[in-house]
């Protein structure tokens, strides 16, 4: 069974780092690029981020379908 409260706290922490405010803790003073690298760093955590996708593709519709199939379905 998942610890819903723990997962919620982890997601709130990620949200705080994205926003860059005081709630981000030590990451609050980091640049957006540094905060992004912190969020995408592979590590053992409650919420494991997936690999970074550059967003560049010759066929966006096919790539979106592939990512949806792989990550959602």
**Does 44 score more than 70 pLDDT?**
no
Q: What is the mean pLDDT of residues 42-68?
A: 78
The rounded distance, in Å, linking the Cα atoms of 41 and 49 is 8
Tokens 């949200």 locate to 15
Higher pLDDT, 67 or 1: 67
Which residue in 50, 48, 46, 49 sits closest to 9, CA to CA?
Answer: 46
Domain residue ranges of the chain, discontinuous segments joined by +: 4-71
The rounded distance, in Å, linking the Cα atoms of 9 and 17 is 12
pLDDT tens digits, one per residue of 5-41:
888 888 888 888 888 878 888 888 888 888 887 777 6
First to last CA, the chain: 21
Q: What is the mean pLDDT of residues 36-55?
A: 70
Backbone angles phi, psi at 62, to 5 degrees: -65, -40
Give residue 69's pLDDT. 93
Give residue 62's pLDDT. 94
């Amino acid at each position: 069974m998942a610890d819903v409260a723990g997962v919620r706290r982890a997601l709130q922490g990620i949200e705080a780092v994205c926003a860059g405010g005081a709630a981000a803790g030590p990451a609050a003073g980091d640049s957006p690029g540094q905060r992004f690298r912190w969020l995408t760093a592979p590590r053992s955590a409650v919420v494991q981020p997936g690999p970074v996708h550059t967003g560049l593709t010759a066929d966006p519709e096919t790539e979106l379908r592939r990512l949806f199939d792989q990550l959602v379905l």
